[in-house]
Structure 1
Amino acid sequence: MSYTYVVSVATGTQGRSGTDNYIFITLVGTEGCSPRIGLDKPLFDDFQRGSVDSYPVGVQENLGEIVLVKLEKKTYLAQDHWYCRYVSVRTPGEDNVEFPCYRWLVDDKEVVLRDGRAHLPQDDKTSLVKEHRQNELKMRQKAYRWMAWQPGFPMSIDAKRHQDLPRDIQFDSEKKMDFVLNYNKAIQNLFLNHFMNMFQSSWSDFDNFKKIFLRIKNATSEYVMEHWKEDFVFSHQFLNGCNPVLIQKITKLPDKFPVTNEMVAVSLERELTLEQEVKAGNIYMVDYEVLDGIKANDTDPRTPQYMTAPICLLYKNTQNEILPIAIQLGQTPGEDNPIFLPTDGEYDWLLAKIWVRSSDFQHHQTVTHLLRTHLISEMFAIAMFRQLPAVHPVWKLLIPHVRFTIAINTKAREQLICEHGLFDKANATGGGAHVQLVQKTMKTLTFRSLCFPDMIKARGMESKEALPTYFYRDDGYKVWEATKSFVSDVIRIYYSSDEKVQGDEEIQAFVKDVCDFGMKDFKHCEFPRSLESREELIEYLTIIMFTASAQHAAVNFGQYDWYSWIPNAPSTMRKPPPTQKGLANITLIMDSLPDRGRSSWHLGAVWALSQYQKNELYLGTYPDEYFLEKPVKASMEKFKKDLAEISSDIKTRNQGQRLPYYNMLPDKIPNSVAI
């Protein structure tokens, strides 16, 4: 007796995903295995981009339940890669069994696919599927290896170049994410070529910066250009700019910042002393202590560059606005480190604020952006590939949120943060300073600080009533809770108890790999080495997804808004910070700000980094069907609905705002760190 199975094979929709090579298939069932059969329809072009091709597979016996599908690609005339989306098998009993693939078949290689239902390792009973699971992880662990790019960094992927990466995690042909190419495109779009080689040439006044600014503007960047000198705009960025993660409510003034009531009394509005305002919860601070001792970029001996580690004191006035009331440009008080005040001369106060903004830029780019989103997300991604097979529900959950992350970081190490890379061109933290800064920050980074609610609470910033204009916090809470709810729904589908988590050897290996290898030598960071409950697993996965999506979006896509007006975010300073009052004038400020060449490098970089990519996949959008189970799909729909409601609320809130905040708008949050 013969049986006929109908196999449908879907080829990818991205560029160059089709193939002219031979494709063979083998069906593996619980009762038997089909012959190795070539898939070919005479006179037709099989396996072309976007196609779904169907083929009959005849066998002499019933194969039972189809549990595995083996695909093989063999060269015909010329070698080319093939991207398979999925294989669907219709059995003689008219059942359809889906086998998600979503990977490349490279050279004369094969891939073995498990059916699309998610399975925990302890739920697999037959030796056949257990062996497949183990073999998949063995192959992955050979392909995805840990490497220390720099001492004192989280571990990264063992690949020197993008082309050395496994093909499945390289960029698609449509996403040619090359920093140099993107940067050159920015230079052309912004008409910056004229200024590129004008290093050491200062601008004559602030209006001169408009020569490189006027080509591309938006509402926020134009508002910044017109109002950047105002104390309100200066302080607003600590709440809702690119680096809204440092401002903290203080309960006492630190000894290293000896601000007195007499210094700031004129700025206080409630007829309270400074000490009383502190006790009332109206005094905030931003401290760049981590920058102290970091050696500024010295790659160009013709132009010395400078950094400092300022402290800024902020006051919440009776209109609930945050305003600066004192700035100290170094960590050690003394006669040569004066405390600048709004009552000082116009240029003294302006230069002090410019120094704070430049320091904020350095911290943002290296710590908040590079380390705490890019490098941390890559570390989680590598461990995921090494320890979780594609059939695991957590792998299916996380895979959209690591899309292109390892690739973008590899490109960064090739072209951006490497020696002589783009970072060295314009940034004070170039020339190795960014490496020092990451190494120093890693000494105090903790796992709990990656948990959004904990990070907000640790800085005393959780009360909306106390500070109603902290939109980063408000929107972040909403996206965090929606993400956590989605993760919880999925996890509870597969884990019926805490014991299920404890008994999942793959999840435990994943978490252990992060702790023992990804965070090697950083035991003080207190990354968990195991998980004991569903709640712990839910929070752990929420941290991964939120960091890769919402947190990265919040600190990345506003860069052109806030950094395109150079005086508001100098990428470097060419004169040392003032050591006394009364010296600042327009000439000193212009000689301190980036020269024309570095300004152009800076502007091109922040434009390129702020661009959304073509075919971007936003939070809650999962076009690849890794999950087949209806309860999970229902959870996905609920997640999308929750995110849509958050987007609607944010857009309503933004109406009428002088500076609307969109950086946590769900429909503008990509799923992963991919730019």
Structure 2
Amino acid sequence: MPSYTVTVATGSQWFAGTDDYIYLSLVGSAGCSEKHLLDKPFYNDFERGAVDSYDVTVDEELGDIQLVKIEKPKLACDDQIHILKQHRRKELETRQKQYRWMEWNPGFPLSIDAKCHKDLPRDIQFDSEKGVDFVLNYSKAMENLFINRFMHMFQSSWSDFADFEKIFVKISNTISERVMNHWQEDLMFGYQFLNGCNPVLIQRCKKLPEKLPVTTEMVECSLERQLTLEQEVEQGNIFIVDFDLLDGIDANKTDPCTLQFLAAPICLLYKNLANKIVPIAIQLNQVPGDENPIFLPSDAKYDWLLAKIWVRSSDFHIHQTITHLLRTHLVSEVFGIAMYRHLPAVHPIFKLLVAHVRFTIAINTKAREQLICEYGLFDKANATGGGGHVQMVQRAMQDLTYISLCFPEAIKARGMDSTEDIPYYFYRDDGLLVWEAIKTFTAEVVGIYYKSDQMVVEDQELQDFVKDVYVYGMRGKKTSGFPKSIKTREKLSEYLTVVIFTASAQHAAVNFGQYDWCSWIPNAPPTMRAPPPTAKGVVTIEQIVDTLPDRGRSCWHLGAVWALSQFQENELFLGMYPEEHFIEKPVKEAIARFRKNLDTIVSMIAERNKNKKLPYYYLSPDRIPNSVAI
């Protein structure tokens, strides 16, 4: 039988190597050979920069060789040859031994079974662990921000608000500087619920809650339409942010020398005649009573200011632990682990998703090792450290549903979908554009590989992936609404959109604005050193400053929000797929269309932001990394 030697060179650029199965066919003047799997036993083929030779034996003469075809297979049903099916099974068996589920804390989504970064499979580790060392990065950030000099006065208070400027890095005309200059204003306070770091809590108030006994008389000076408060509610002009999740959470007690406090405020907001959102009433805890007054804009200046500071601090806690950690980091890790366990490298859904779980398992492992662990960095500055953050995640898991990760439905559920009623909600506007671009792309890819809904149903690897997310990641909770299986191409496209959007756009929206909005300490205090006021007319400027974080915790906080707001070196942004897992022309064309759609969105956002004092750019695709990696 004729035999040929074929030499294959793998590129030396980053990400050039592949773990996919590579098949070769020879086309000659007298015929075409069968597909041959290029695989050397006990050898890692197609490493970056490798040159490998393979002997290919064919059944009959092919004549003069005219073409060498190299390709990768697709779905399991395409691999009819027994040896190929066996290879897929072995790959997954090996992966399932490497990627094991683990419960880091009761009630959490399950995570990877690894105590530290070096325990992870080599394929998913960072190239340089030093680059994601939280201790190193925070210390480096404080050094770069020139704030280390305050650390020796760790537990001493600042003198006044102006004192915070000593650790504040002024970067001319940035959002952070504007926050510093305008943080006390009601307009700036309200704006942040729409376009700040945590734009996911505000909702339209359909009925005033009994636990917030606010009346028209109390807020009359804030209402601009000559209507009663109830009428304003009926017309859709009243909004509410309820921090009930913080009620009863244990405050940080890791430092016996410093008492730390939490509150669970309810904040009522009003859409004024200029269509801007402003606060009109704040109650600092959930149960009404004489010692839990409702603070109003008409109160004494410092009463109202301290009430708003408590809301901003509570918003910071929900943002860091729930919006950011749970609903982007931990959820994306679940998708990543399930993908590695059940989708072989040749599977088109693996190829589609692998860029969107890049470094996520590694960054989360590093966080469990250094940041959110017992006595970790999180405990140094945050009132929810020392276990409070764990309690918060356990509670928030009750509200972590599949539908709440579907961006359009999540916006609609909060009554925030009307662009006419709420015209300045850029998080919503930009998010919907990016969601639709991703969904259009995933629908195209799904359509290329799945010619019918039946093919989706019969793809056992895909179904095992979806089931693993539900059973292990989401702990098999029916109330989560996560599907156990997927039966249509449309639902598969939606599911893939959830995975990609969560890891890319949603994480970008709630992560990269942390320095902008949280670096001015009074606007996002990570801890409070006195309990919420129980009466009006007693708050002084000195009392507020003594309540705010001390010098040491302010420095740790500033280093943290700076470090967490930085892009990774060699960051890959949405639509960038340098590994080129797909070789099929229709998919490459779909990727090109996806990039074009994203470029259009970038231009639209840039045009809207022109001359804006507060531009919103967190959901501009050129600033959205592909995955959760910081």
Identify the TM-score tier after normalising by the shorter chain. over 0.9
Matched, 1:413 2:414: no
1:54 aligned partner: none
Q: CA RMSD in A?
A: 2.2
Distance 1:432 1:174, change over 3 A: closer
Matched, 1:244 2:203: no
What is the identity, as a one-letter code, of the residue corresponding to 2:532? P
1:305 aligned partner: 260
What is the identity, as a one-letter code, of the residue corresponding to 2:212? F
Distance 1:655 1:420, change over 3 A: same
Distance 1:86 1:339, change over 3 A: farther
1:469-480 pair list within 5 angstroms: 469-480=424-435
Work out which of the residue numbers 440, 445, 468 in structure 2 matches 1:513. Answer: 468
Distance 1:403 1:217, change over 3 A: farther
Distance 1:656 1:12, change over 3 A: closer
The answer to whether the Cα contact below 8 Å between 1:218 and 1:561 also exists between their aligned partners in 2 is: no
Shift of 1:656: 2.2
What is the identity, as a one-letter code, of the residue corresponding to 2:263? T
Work out which of the residue numbers 61, 65, 70 in structure 1 matches 2:40. Answer: 70
Matched positions, count? 614
Structure 1, residues 198-249: CA drift from partner, whole Å, max 9, x if none? Answer: 2321111101001000365661000001000000111110000000000000
The answer to whether the Cα contact below 8 Å between 2:271 and 2:277 also exists between their aligned partners in 1 is: yes
Matched, 1:662 2:617: yes
Distance 2:492 2:52 in 1: 31
Distance 1:513 1:521, change over 3 A: closer
1:30-45 pair list within 5 angstroms: none
Work out which of the residue numbers 208, 211, 228 in structure 2 matches 1:273. Answer: 228
What is the identity, as a one-letter code, of the residue corresponding to 1:230? E
Shift of 1:517: 1.2
Distance 1:444 1:89, change over 3 A: same
Work out which of the residue numbers 289, 292, 310 in structure 2 matches 1:337. Answer: 292
Work out which of the residue numbers 588, 596, 604 in structure 2 matches 1:633. Answer: 588
SS in 1 for 2:292: coil
Shift of 1:251: 1.1
SS in 2 for 1:176: helix
Matched, 1:289 2:244: yes
2:60 aligned partner: none
1:440 aligned partner: 395
Distance 1:521 1:151, change over 3 A: farther
What is the identity, as a one-letter code, of the residue corresponding to 1:344? D
1:24-63 pair list within 5 angstroms: none
Relative contact order, higher structure (CA 8 A, sep 6+): 2
Distance 1:588 1:506, change over 3 A: same
The answer to whether the Cα contact below 8 Å between 1:484 and 1:542 also exists between their aligned partners in 2 is: yes
Structure 1, residues 323-354: CA drift from partner, whole Å, max 9, x if none? Answer: 00000000111111000000000000000000
Structure 1, residues 47-102: CA drift from partner, whole Å, max 9, x if none? Answer: xxxxxxxxxxxxxxx9742234337559xxxxxx965689898987343444xxxx
Matched, 1:367 2:322: yes
What is the identity, as a one-letter code, of the residue corresponding to 1:638? R
Work out which of the residue numbers 23, 48, 65 in structure 2 matches 1:93. Answer: 65
1:185-200 pair list within 5 angstroms: 185-200=140-155
Work out which of the residue numbers 51, 72, 80 in structure 2 matches 1:116. Answer: 72
Distance 2:537 2:348 in 1: 64
Matched, 1:597 2:552: yes
2:29 aligned partner: none
The answer to whether the Cα contact below 8 Å between 1:446 and 1:524 also exists between their aligned partners in 2 is: yes
Distance 1:272 1:85 in 2: 75
SS in 2 for 1:272: coil
Distance 1:498 1:64, change over 3 A: closer
2:11 aligned partner: 10
Distance 2:238 2:486 in 1: 39
Shift of 1:518: 1.3
Distance 2:562 2:327 in 1: 21
Distance 2:445 2:549 in 1: 50
Structure 1, residues 509-546: CA drift from partner, whole Å, max 9, x if none? Answer: 01111111111253321211011101111111100000
Distance 1:481 1:85 in 2: 40
Distance 1:539 1:240, change over 3 A: same
Structure 1, residues 591-613: CA drift from partner, whole Å, max 9, x if none? Answer: 10000000000000000000111
Could you list the runs of 5+ residues in structure 2 that have no partner in the other structure? 27-31, 57-63
Distance 2:411 2:118 in 1: 39
1:108-147 pair list within 5 angstroms: 115-117=71-73, 119-147=74-102
Distance 1:667 1:384 in 2: 26
What is the identity, as a one-letter code, of the residue corresponding to 1:169? I
SS in 2 for 1:201: coil
Shift of 1:197: 3.4
The answer to whether the Cα contact below 8 Å between 1:30 and 1:67 also exists between their aligned partners in 2 is: no
Structure 1, residues 263-312: CA drift from partner, whole Å, max 9, x if none? Answer: 01110111111111100010001010111110111100111100011010
What is the identity, as a one-letter code, of the residue corresponding to 1:510? F
1:139-538 pair list within 5 angstroms: 139-173=94-128, 176-214=131-169, 219-538=174-493
Distance 1:314 1:492 in 2: 45
Shift of 1:177: 1.2
Distance 2:97 2:182 in 1: 54
SS in 2 for 1:70: coil
Distance 1:197 1:87, change over 3 A: farther
The answer to whether the Cα contact below 8 Å between 1:7 and 1:90 also exists between their aligned partners in 2 is: no
Distance 1:504 1:532, change over 3 A: same
Distance 1:624 1:28, change over 3 A: closer
Shift of 1:176: 2.2
SS in 1 for 2:279: strand
Distance 2:428 2:23 in 1: 51
Identify, as 1 or 2, the structure richer in helix.
2
Distance 1:595 1:235 in 2: 26
Distance 1:657 1:443 in 2: 39
1:556-635 pair list within 5 angstroms: 556-635=511-590
Distance 1:27 1:541, change over 3 A: closer
Normalising by structure 2, we get a TM-score of 0.94
Distance 2:54 2:514 in 1: 48
The answer to whether the Cα contact below 8 Å between 2:170 and 2:177 also exists between their aligned partners in 1 is: no
Distance 1:88 1:662 in 2: 49
Structure 1, residues 400-452: CA drift from partner, whole Å, max 9, x if none? Answer: 00000000000000010001111000011110110000001112221110110
Distance 1:30 1:142 in 2: 33
2:61 aligned partner: none
1:643 aligned partner: 598
Distance 1:335 1:365 in 2: 32
Distance 2:357 2:442 in 1: 16
Shift of 1:116: 2.5
Structure 1, residues 143-177: CA drift from partner, whole Å, max 9, x if none? Answer: 10000000000000000000000000000138721
